[in-house]
Chains A and B, each alone.
Chain A
Amino acid sequence: MSTKELDIRVVPPSEKHPTIFRTFDSLARGEGFTLVNDHDPSPLRHQFEATRSGQFSWKYVESGPAVWRVLIEKSA
């Protein structure tokens, strides 16, 4: 199954996290998307932990040095 991909590198700063949460919130349970970024999105992960605790999984598919890919899935 191909996963959705959201490349956040081109999105203006103030819209990055809202765009990511909008994409996550529109997923069905068990669905996921791959987030593509130009740095480790660890602050985002902390925000996920704080606001969507227990509802998501976070898996690094690629970890730099220029590109990071994270598979974010909504828990079934």
Chain B
Amino acid sequence: MSLVLSSAAAPERALPALDQAARARGLDGLEWVLEAEQPLEAFAVGVQTSGARVAALRAEALPQHLDALAHLAATLGVPVSAPAAALPSGALAAAASAFERAGGTLLLGEGAALEPMAALAQALRAAGTPRSVGVALELRPSTESLREASAALFACRPFLGLVRLHGGGPEQRAQDGLGVGGVLADLAACDFAGPTVLTPSGPAALPQWRSWLDSKRSAGCGSAHPPRALALELDMRPVEPRDRLDTILGAYHALARGGTLRLTVDHDPSCMAYTLEATEPEGSFSFHKVLASRGDSEDGPVVWRAEVTRL
């Protein structure tokens, strides 16, 4: 599976600059959102001369004649996804022919509810299971329930070519408890190997995405503390997961004997205790954790507190 960034995350950036930012974040390429009336041939040349890694194309609307779009997808060797509603009813066979002739792939999405996805799979079977048209699973955990996503996934699995996650990246903390983990586990279980696209949940999230793309790995905050502290408090929730271990260990090593580090985290902190057990001398610390909040609703954010005392 590859993880790619949609240009919707930073629509103002040019292709090479956005690819550079994606690369710095360890992402495998880009989904490029095509603008209406965009000259497709010039775009293809631009991609090929810049060397930017375009892994998928996105069209929010579909032109009446699909040949040029199909040709672009074939030229770049990447699929183009579009909302299923962008294709007029009865136009599936014609779309399949256009993409078949060009040698490209069109992937249609309908959210993550069971009924429309099953209907889409049924329509593809009725059209003779064309090789040139498949399905894109659209996951919108911030605005739509993922309760049926697993069932929808299995209904469309034979046709699934792409997953679009509206969130992840800088929004993953806000999507805590909404079921993203379960769907990712199901995708792994059914050997899904296609690209997963990260795209913002909406315009309000754009500032977060811009700063996420520009941020560099932090050095951790351990060195900022005076050495031999007796009490330290750290709220780990705003810290990126990849910076957390260094941050916590830095703070822990700044503790004096008898000093206590109080942590607030958004997941069960047992892994922290296991890490200290494996890396610190036996009997050199005590660890207590308590589940502070499950949030105000079933889907609310999880808050844990942990206390580590250096003995």
Contact = CB atoms under 8 A, between A and B. Distances in A.
Interface string A1-34: 0101111111111111111001100100000010
Among B178, B188, B198, B265, chain A packs the most CB atoms within 10 A around the CB of B188
A4 B189 contact: yes
A13 B189 contact: no
Interface of B: 1, 3, 23-26, 165, 167-169, 172-173, 175-178, 180-182, 184-185, 188-189, 191, 193, 196, 198, 241-243, 245, 265-268, 270-272, 274-275, 277-279, 301-302
A12 B270 CA distance: 16
A38 B242 CA distance: 6
B3 A23 contact: no
Given A7-B3, A43-B245, A14 B176 contact: yes
Q: How big is chain A's contact interface, by range?
A: 35 or more
Interface string A35-65: 0111110111011011100000000000000
Contacts of A37: 242
A16 B267 contact: yes
B189 A26 contact: yes
Contacts of B177: 12, 14-15
Contacts of B25: 38, 66
Contacts of B277: 46, 50
Contact of A2 (B169, B173, B182, B191): B191
Interface of A: 2, 4-19, 22-23, 26, 33, 36-40, 42-44, 46-47, 49-51, 66-67
Given A12-B178, A23-B185, A36-B1, 7 more contacts: A10-B165, A10-B167, A15-B182, A19-B185, A38-B242, A50-B278, A66-B24
B169 A13 contact: no
B274 A49 contact: yes
Nearest to B188: A6
Contacts of B196: 7, 10
A47 B189 contact: no
A36 B185 contact: no
A4 B175 CA distance: 24
B26 A66 contact: yes
A16 B157 CA distance: 24
